[in-house]
Structure 1
Amino acid sequence: MSTTAEVGGGSGQLSNKQRRILAYLIEHADDQTYFKSRLIGDELGLSPKEVGTNMRSLQDGEFAVDIEKWGYSSSTTWMVTQ
C-alpha cells in the first residue's frame, strides 16, 4: 500500500500539516520508532510546537501508525509503531 493511500484512509478531516506529519511518520516508521518533534519539524519546515500540537491530534485517529507521547528532553519524543 502506498503512503498516499495509507494517509488518505480516514484522513479527510486532517489539516495539511497533519497530513504532512503523518506521511513522514508512515514513511519512516519501518526504520525508526522514536521521533523528536524538533527533528520532524526540521525535516518538514515546521516548528517543534507546530509538530507537537498536530501530533496530539494524530494520536486520536486511526491511521497506519500508532502514536504515543513517550518523553520530553530537549524536545518531545513520540513513539510511533505500525
Structure 2
Amino acid sequence: MPRALRELFETLDDLDTLLKHSEVGAELADRGVNVSLALVAASGLRAYVEGRKAAAAVDLPTAGEEIRGRLERAKEDLS
C-alpha cells in the first residue's frame, strides 16, 4: 500500500480511537455533538476512501439525516 494511503488509514484509525475516548466524548457532548453519529459519519468516510461506496452510501446519509432531524427538532423547541 502506498505510504500516503497508509497514513490516511492510520489517521482514520486515530479518529475512530479518539471518538471512542471518554474524555473526547465528554468534550464533544458538551458541544452538542453525538459521538455515535460522529462514528457513523467516520465509518462512512472510511468506507468511501476504501472504495466501499455502497457502505458509504448508507452511513453518510444516515448520519446526515439524523443530524438534520436533530437540528429541526432543536429549532422547533426554540419556537
Normalising by structure 1, report the TM-score. Answer: 0.33
Name whichever structure is richer in helix by fraction: 2
Normalising by structure 2, report the TM-score. Answer: 0.33
Name whichever structure is richer in strand by fraction: 1
Larger Rg: 2
